[in-house]
Amino acid sequence: MSVAETDRTDRELVALVATGSTAALEELYRRHVPWLTARLARRCADPGIVDEALQDTFVAVWRGAGRYQGDGDPGAWIWGIAVRRLVDALRKRPPAAYEVVESDLGLVESAEDRVLVGVEHGDLAGALDRLSPELRSVVQATVLDGLTTKEAAQLLGLRHGTVKTRMMRARQVLRKELA
């Protein structure tokens, strides 16, 4: 890839990917895989699942670049794909495959579990564990993953209003639990 190609914006690179440019896809990969890996690894402690999600993400970028409408930052578009691919990869595995993984150093909890266990003020970890799966998934997507309610709705396959309602209910439950 020439220096001129590496100077292109992400938006220009996505447009080139849409025309079939593998060089543009490679440049997007080089730019985005480090931070995507770090963010996905905070959500899932299994490097194999993270790698699978990353590979699937860039296959989806390759296939879907023509549908990118240019709304918003391309990095946010790629992150949305990555999160959905991670969720898909996690759904393919039995729960034990991503709750706790074994490494050369012993058992390693997922990043999310480490955060929840490490909360020292109140019983937030326990309160989150006691939320229904529907409420907890919304809290995870919006609070832990930092997605907007619109992005969370897309990720979870819900209507925008449903995400807002579930978040409101989750706040009510957490307030009672932590009072």
* pLDDT, tens digit, 9 for 90 and up, residues 112-126: 444 434 443 446 767
CB 170 within 8 A of CB 139: yes
Q: Where are the beta strands (DSSP E) in 27-152?
A: 100-103, 106-109
CATH of 119-179, one of 3.40.309.10, 3.40.50.1360, 1.10.10.10, 1.20.120.1630: 1.10.10.10
CATH of 7-102, one of 1.10.1740.10, 3.50.50.60, 3.40.50.150, 1.10.10.10: 1.10.1740.10
d(CA 174, CA 97): 28
Mean pLDDT score of the chain: 79
88-107 pLDDT tens trace: 887 776 544 334 444 444 44
Q: What is the pLDDT of residue 36?
A: 92
Q: Is the pLDDT of residue 10 over 80?
A: yes
d(CA 114, CA 108): 9
